[in-house]
Amino acid sequence: MAHSAASPAIAPSATPVTLPIRAILPWAVFFGVLMLVLLYFVGAEQGATSLMSGENVHEWLHDGRHLLGFPCH
Ligand SMILES: [Zn+2]
């Protein structure tokens, strides 16, 4: 069986995968809302804007608040 060294190269088909926007949109909204809630708890859960009484949430996220540059104390 003889193989030719100069066999014709098979060009890979480079068809892009299409992602339907209707499949991505609910997940994008979900993660967007999740990030906004996280941003609220890290950046604004304190004092007059506090949703939860006490300082527990603030203390748990205190280092993250300073790391991200939110005003704290
Ligand atoms: Zn602080």
The C-alpha atoms of residue 5 and residue 43 are separated, in whole angstroms, by 64
Residues 6+ apart with CB under 8 A from 56: none
Report how far ligand 1's centroid is from the alpha carbon of 72 (Å). 4
Report how far ligand 1's centroid is from the alpha carbon of 48 (Å). 16
Residues with CB under 5 A from ligand 1 (ion): 72-73
Q: Which pLDDT tens digit goes with each residue over 27-70?
A: 999 999 999 998 888 888 777 777 878 778 888 888 888 998 88
The C-alpha atoms of residue 20 and residue 67 are separated, in whole angstroms, by 37
The C-alpha atoms of residue 42 and residue 66 are separated, in whole angstroms, by 9
Report how far ligand 1's centroid is from the alpha carbon of 71 (Å). 7
Q: What is the pTM of this model?
A: 0.60
Report how far ligand 1's centroid is from the alpha carbon of 30 (Å). 29
